Structure 1
Amino acid sequence: MTEQTNPTLLPTSIKGVFQRIWVVIVGIIAVAVFFLWPVLSNSPVDYADIENHFKYGSIGSEPINGIPYWIWKVLPELFPDKLPGKGYTSLGFIKEPDKDLPIGFSQRRIFIDRVGLNCAVCHTGTLRNTPNSEHQVITAMPANVVNLQGYIKFLSTVGVDERFTANRMLPEIEKISGGLNPIEKLLYRFIAIPQTRDALINQGSRLNFVEKQPDWGPGRVDTFNPYKAIQFHFPMDKLREDELIGTSDFPSVWNQKPREGLQLHWDGNNTSVDERNKSAALGAGVTPTTIDLPRIQRVADWLWELPPPKYPYEVNETIAAKGEQLFQSNCASCHAFGGAYTGKVVPIQEIGTDPHRLDSYTYKTMSNQNTLYTGYPWRFKNFRKTNGYANMPLDGVWLRGPYLHNGSVPTLRDLLETPENRPKEFYRGYDVIDRAKVGFVSDVGVENGKQYFKFDTTKPGNSNSGHLYGTDLPTEDKNALVEYMKKL
């Protein structure tokens, strides 16, 4: 008896084959659309108000280095044990009550919404008049309360956590999103979640040198070592220790027009404001192919002549008048616009401040940086290796504490003392203004359960040595000088 085909099974079998083929086709289409959509649809969230654009507008960091919106939103809910407190604000990110994202985070839709960083993450801070006052948000000042290293470490640790799976993450996303549509569910389950995890693991492995550095603390960043790891693929485990630590304070970014042509960055390694801007954009996650030039230019145009905020408290004009004379005779040649040495580099042997930031920027780094944006009219060409630190103009200096390039001296008044008489330890991240010494109050370690960062000047990269100018003045003259600098 010969074997015969059962006619009742054939349609079901064929139907199953077609179903599987259809699933594969749909999957291929979904993947193709996901990767081709950046070409077809690239929609950043824009803001009519320029200050809101600075705080929340995109500069092009989302397409490659952005995190899918709902993953970014759910990470603090799924991994609360990886943060020092509740949510991203526990890392010092500033959340305004009427906004969805913290300041410094932008959103762009590339098939799905993605979250990236922008200029404001490093250049917006807060200020309080007293411990009981409301926090005032001030754009273009150094991000004095933001713990960027903490954010880097958070993303690195969640990427390798076994809870970072679609099965664990999607229910949490559904809970806070109100429900994804079927296509979004498929994209998040099979593409967004696994690819984000892979990207975070890869980024964490490249940035693992951060674990070897002394903690940055709020208001500080290592500008160029992440470049070496992510942009240039340097073998970070083989770098010398003095090259591996480049931590410095965030600068202010107001009043850029008179800075054009000065030696910029702490070590004066570039004289072009435009190149400096594009370099900073790379540090925020932009790539040469995703940089959003029109939106960056909009920010640059606003900052070009943006004045620093005026000191809002009482100034003793009599004492300040004496201080102005002292400033002109002791400080203006290096720190006033138009000064003979303003914006020029002082050799490290003379300035005597901590050398780590200078040593971290090497000739090899410079050579690689000047290859960035190859093929574009704005290819970098102005980066140079220097032998010291640049004299910075002091406009708005009252908001730029702590002081020196590495933020190792809490107040201007402390800076006028010799290094052995400057504070060996103090607290960073506290935003109550110090009206007497100028800077921020630095002796508060805990407030309402919040722990502030203890800065230790004995750790590598944290030395408060050098810059002895003015330290031999009489006490009365030092006080007068500080009183005048409130007005800069």
Structure 2
Amino acid sequence: MADYSAESKTSGGQQVAPSRRKRWVRVLLTLLITPTIFLIVIGIYLFVRFGGDTPVVYDTIEEHFKYGSTGGEREAGIPYWIFQALPRLFPHHLPGPGGYASLGLIYEEGKDLPVGMSKRHHLGIDRTFLNCAVCHTSTVRDTPQSKPRLYLMMPANTFNVKAFQGFLFDCARDPKFSKKFIVPEVRRMLQERGQDLDLIDRYIVYPAAIWIAREQLLTLSGRFAWAVDQHDWGPGRVDTFNVAKMLFYFPMGKMGAHEQNAPSDFPSIWYQGPRQSMQLHWDGNNTKVEERNKSAAFGTGTTPPTIDLVAIGRIEKWLLTKEAPRYPYPVDKAKAAQGAGLYKEYCADCHGAGPRDFSGKYVGKVTPIEEIGTDPHRLDSYSYELAANQSTLYAGYPWRFTHFRKTFGYANMPLDGIWLRAPYIHNGSVPTLRELLERSPQRPKVFYRGYDVYDPVKVGFRTDVAEEGARKYFRFDTAVPGNGNAGHEGERFGTELGSGEKEALVEYLKTF
């Protein structure tokens, strides 16, 4: 019998030493294992590089409000360095010098993004997009030479959202929106900081990101084509629910004229706790603060799967108790005391018993359009069909929308912080509180919007300035459809008071 303890046969009958056999086994195992290890290593690398989803987080609630994410960067986000490169490559698509500031966006000293834009690292690249503060933060100057003061939660009366969208769409249509021009510009900006793109970013990530961003913007611009025929909204305003119809794929070209041209002012959003169960939005179409907030978040690029509920929850909780800023200028106490009685007689039932007391028979309820008489375009733009479609949002989630309703007028709002909410009426067609107390024929027919220098006498922003340096302000014409300044007038609304009484009433409203 053959002894196989020291040697073995191959299939050809040759004897092979065990050490050689073991060596071949090791080689075979190495050949089998090495690709597996290689694939594992590559998989780990790809996961680490492209699998992250990390927003920039801020400890203080004020910084979180200004720069924190709502989740919109995940789907609507623009790659951060592409966003920074656009004003340098396409200044001719901006309304003037100054980059994004020419669109009314606000930059704080030392910040590389404007107030109202957040940053998140998602799918291997830093992305940026809008958050709540972009529509609800602005500045106030005492004089043209004064340093601007930033006020959170007030209407963003300087930000021109339609012009911002138009700039991005114009850039996407420009032949220079390509890797040939954008990648070198991104590298120049990084090299100014002593950094650079690595090879993967340079030849794979950014070329792909540029192509995707361009296609997304071009697709969105096609859906926004209806807005080309609409009148300009101007700063501080947005055609909220016609934009919502566009997102629901409504046939915008078949929309009736009465529903079109319906821009309304950005609202203030402070002190939400006492507003629970009031009829919210300008037309009072919802009574649930949380639904209203989630609906507004769609404007920051979120969708039901991408919304960051934890981040938005921080803001929601803060806004429940955060009160409006106090009026910073002198108040004539004697005149204000006289105005308090007039306010109680003419205003309290609809707007609350006092600056922080929202009790009143009609507070937070809708006044029929026949009684209030203000421009109907915003009311008409919100249709039964849209309400039905909104009820499908978040279907399958515990927070599915259930409170949207069609109404027939405009809601009576509490007036806390009214000094910061100019211009007035839902469409911003009356510049100051003092002018709101005049009948519509005496109200300004044409004025300028977007200026942040304050008028403490009339209570509102100055509207007689067409330009400041290279910055041009928006000419608001009340004859344009949707811009009508009639309504909220007659004996019931205080427009028949004497001049001295009107001044006293305005003086009292300064204390709100």
Q: TM-score, normalised by structure 2?
A: 0.87
Instruction: Supply the RMSD in Å over aligned alpha carbons.
Output: 1.8
User: 1:275 corresponds to which residue?
Assistant: 291
User: 2:229 corresponds to which residue?
Assistant: 212
User: 1:95 corresponds to which residue?
Assistant: 107
Residue 244 of structure 1 deviates from its aligned partner by: 2.4
Alignment of structure 1 residues 70-469 onto 2, 5 Å: 70-85=81-96, 86-110=98-122, 111-178=124-191, 179-230=196-247, 232-336=248-352, 337-468=358-489, 469=493
User: What is the CA–CA distance in structure 1 between the aligned matches of 2:450 and 2:66, rounded to whole Å?
Assistant: 20
User: What is the CA–CA distance in structure 1 between the aligned matches of 2:204 and 2:494, rounded to whole Å?
Assistant: 62
Q: Which has the larger radius of gyration?
A: 2
> Does 2:68 match 1:57?
yes
1:125/1:141 contact within 8 Å kept: yes
User: What is the CA–CA distance in structure 1 between the aligned matches of 2:260 and 2:76, rounded to whole Å?
Assistant: 23
User: What is the CA–CA distance in structure 1 between the aligned matches of 2:460 and 2:381, rounded to whole Å?
Assistant: 27
User: 2:13 corresponds to which residue?
Assistant: none
1:83/1:154 contact within 8 Å kept: yes
User: 2:80 corresponds to which residue?
Assistant: 69
Residue 233 of structure 1 deviates from its aligned partner by: 1.3
In structure 2, relative to structure 1, the CA distance for the partners of 1:242 and 1:188 (3 Å cut) is farther
Residue 357 of structure 1 deviates from its aligned partner by: 0.4
Name the % identity.
54
User: What is the CA–CA distance in structure 1 between the aligned matches of 2:335 and 2:410, rounded to whole Å?
Assistant: 31
Residue 323 of structure 1 deviates from its aligned partner by: 0.2
User: What is the CA–CA distance in structure 1 between the aligned matches of 2:324 and 2:67, rounded to whole Å?
Assistant: 20
In structure 2, relative to structure 1, the CA distance for the partners of 1:227 and 1:37 (3 Å cut) is farther
Q: TM-score, normalised by structure 1?
A: 0.92
4+ long deviations beyond 3 Å: 187-190
2:183/2:207 contact within 8 Å kept: no
Query: Comparing 409-418 with 190-199, which one deviates more in the overlay?
Result: 190-199
Count of aligned pairs: 459
Gaps of 5+ in 1: 1-21
SS at match of 1:373: coil
SS at match of 2:138: strand
User: What is the CA–CA distance in structure 1 between the aligned matches of 2:303 and 2:462, rounded to whole Å?
Assistant: 38
Read off the aligned partner of 1:444 and give its amino acid letter: V
SS at match of 1:455: strand
Residue 159 of structure 1 deviates from its aligned partner by: 1.1
Residue 448 of structure 1 deviates from its aligned partner by: 2.3
Cα deviations across residues 429-478 of structure 1 (Å, max 9, x unaligned)? 11111111101111111222321111000001000011111111111111
Read off the aligned partner of 2:439 and give its amino acid letter: T
Query: Comparing 155-164 with 133-142, which one deviates more in the overlay?
Result: 155-164
Query: Comparing 312-321 with 215-224, which one deviates more in the overlay?
Result: 215-224
1:166/1:188 contact within 8 Å kept: no
Cα deviations across residues 281-331 of structure 1 (Å, max 9, x unaligned)? 012111100000010010111111111111011100000001000001110
